Amino acid sequence: MRTLHLGFLLSLVFFGHPARVTPQTSPSYDIVLRNGRVMDPESGLNAIRFVGIRNGKVAAISTQALKGRDVIDATGLVVAPGFIDLHAHGQDMDDNKWQAQDGVTTALEMEGGAYPIAGWYASREGKAFINYGATVSHIGARIAVVTGAKTLEEVIANRRSTESPTPDWAHRKLSADQLTQLEADLRQGLDEGGLGLGLGINYTPAATREEIFRVFRIAAERNVVVHVHVRGAGLDETAGSIPAVQEMLADAAASGASLHIVHLGSSGLSQGPLLAEMLEGARKRGLDVSTEVYPYTAGSTLLQSAIFDPGWQERIGIGYGDLQWPATNERLTEESFARYRKEGGWVIIHMIPERTVAFLVARPGVMIASDGVPIEKGRGHPRGVGTFARVLGRYVRENKALSLMEALRKMSYLPAERVRTAVPAMAQKGRVRVGADADLTLFDPERVIDRATFDNPAQASEGIPYVLVGGTFVVRDGKLVEGVAPGRPVRRNH
């Protein structure tokens, strides 16, 4: 008996815990998900299993029944890693609730970023419905340098200001001293926990190529990713999508920085497939480059932004009638464009070919990210409400453009891996395995679908009855759980 006991202990030391957990020996878990179809894009597991959750972690995945204080019958449901949105603007409690109902457990503001970083994280601590994080915003730091803004609130106010349709912070070239200050501010933001550097170059037309290259050098120095809204979109040979992406590839190659180009559909328009091919070629030749897409044929941004400076029709290749004002759902005219631009607010831009969207959603390695913007008074772009269910329902089930496992990989595992260099703890997200965070989304693959539309975006996705963040239900039986705030910061520890 003593020899057998010693051998059993040695097997634990060298081989880990026994692979099979039986009902007789299994402990009681906080939550058990029973008979769900566990799909893990890291290992490829795709099978009916019991999942035991304890202390916010996946503690067991078993072929046999597990005992738990709270048992959920997941028969007919996929048990997937919680979706990780790399591109989520706003991130207040209302936005988080829409996203949670779309299966999102972690929302990161990686393009626009935040500034000052310490203030942004502090404003969400203990209040978040889902996990949260942000890059250091180049736009925010530039606003601070030009205007003297100090607080998060002052930076946001300057960014949304409609006092001038051409704000000084976007159109002023920085002096040598200001460039030095900008670099210092960006480094400080990384020291405060920023996940990388966020660049919206299309919103800061005065940012020179030298200024942008300096940002890339900081990213390389600190081993973080630069998330970029490129300088231009459209077919123009000197100011369109192709030269804009080429600038980013050159900066990444020259600096050694990692690069992520956001919303390739709205940045690339009809050239999206060609741009994807360029990025794939750069990756094959050693550059650390990635990209993302949202599954809609329209973009959205603030009408007062520099994107709509004179000449925008020629640059983007659209007209007034392609712009939709969410507050009234009207298509704009020259007169209403001028009036609403002075008023300020979000506008929907119908400009992306469906063939580009379909190509990029299906393309291996292209991540899914919403670029979600706030829903204000029930109006806005639907992408912050229905992106993930739309991919699962329309592109996987209906169009069969990609497999379910590949879609989950694009929504969870790949985004987690993209942030993992800055935050090693992301190795515990984006997968369903023992030891991983219990950020889980349970959905019905036969019913999951988006309901949000351009005319009526405030309609939650269907077919996602359970969502857990750190082992706490935020959606249960298809309804939001009130009074919980399990969201935790995703933050770089330099």
State the chain's mean pLDDT as an integer.
92
SS3 358: helix
- In the predicted model, what is the mean pLDDT of residues 87-110? 93
**Percent share of the chain, pLDDT over 70:** 93
Q: By the 8 A CB rule, do 369 and 292 touch?
A: yes
Q: Which domains does the chain have, with CATH numbers?
A: 12-76 (2.30.40), 83-423 (3.20.20.140)
What global pTM score does this model have? 0.93
What is the SS3 assignment for 181? helix
Q: 36 phi and psi, to 5 degrees? A: -85, 160
pLDDT-derived band of residue 166, with 50, 70 and 90 as boundaries? low
C-beta separation of 82 from 469 below 8 A: yes
Give the pLDDT mean for 377-393: 96
pLDDT computed for residue 163 by the predictor:
60
Tell which wins on pLDDT, 238 or 449: 449
State the average pLDDT over residues 187-214. Answer: 97
What is the spatial distance between Cα 388 and Cα 103, in angstroms, rounded to a whole number?
7
Residue 221's alpha-carbon distances to 23, 250, 264, in angstroms, are: 52, 17, 26
Residue 214 has pLDDT above 50, yes or no: yes
Nearest C-alpha neighbor of 293 from the set 352, 374, 252: 352
What integer is the mean pLDDT of 40-53? 98
Judge whether residue 13 has pLDDT over 50: no
How far apart, in whole angstroms, are the C-alpha atoms of residue 330 and residue 343?
A: 15
375 and 91 in contact (C-beta within 8 Å)? no
**End-to-end alpha-carbon separation of the chain, Å?**
51
Name the least confident of 10-24, 29-43, 261-275, 431-445: 10-24
Using the 8-state DSSP alphabet, how is residue 228 labeled?
Answer: E
Give the model's confidence band at 449: pLDDT under 50 very low, under 70 low, under 90 confident, else very high: very high
- Residue 152 has a pLDDT of 87
Query: Picking from 24-38, 240-254, 434-448, which range would have the lowest pLDDT averaged per residue?
Result: 24-38
Asked whether residue 22 carries a pLDDT value surpassing 80, the answer given is: no
Q: pLDDT by residue (tens digit) across 314-365?
A: 999 999 999 999 999 999 999 999 999 999 999 999 999 999 999 999 999 9
Average pLDDT over residues 74-100: 94
At 33 the pLDDT is 98
Interatomic CA distance for residues 272 and 356, integer angstroms: 6
Q: Do 193 and 115 contact (CB within 8 A), yes or no?
A: no
State pLDDT tens for residues 118-127. 999 999 999 9
Q: What is the pLDDT of residue 379?
A: 93
Q: Is residue 493 very low, low, confident or very high in pLDDT (cuts 50, 70, 90)?
A: confident
**Looking at residue 162, what is its pLDDT?**
66
Stretch 252-256: mean pLDDT, rounded?
Answer: 98
Give residue 494's pLDDT: 59
- pLDDT the model gives residue 9: 34
pLDDT at 17 > cutoff 90: no
At 457, the amino acid letter reads: P
The residue-averaged pLDDT of 215-228 equals 98
Q: How confident is the model at residue 15 (pLDDT cuts 50, 70, 90)?
A: very low
Cα–chain-centroid distance for residue 282?
A: 23
Which of 144, 173, 145 shows the shortest CA–CA distance to 157? 144
State the pairing for strand pair 298-302/346-350: antiparallel
- Confidence check: pLDDT of 2 > 50: no
Least confident interval from 37-41, 120-124, 162-166: 162-166
Calpha distance 426→195 (Å, rounded): 11
pLDDT of residue 124: 93
What single letter denotes the amino acid at residue 160?
R
HEC string of 429-467 equals CCCCCCCCECCEEEECCCCCECCCCCCCCCCCCECCCEE
What is the structure's pLDDT at 167?
65
Residue 164 has a pLDDT of 56
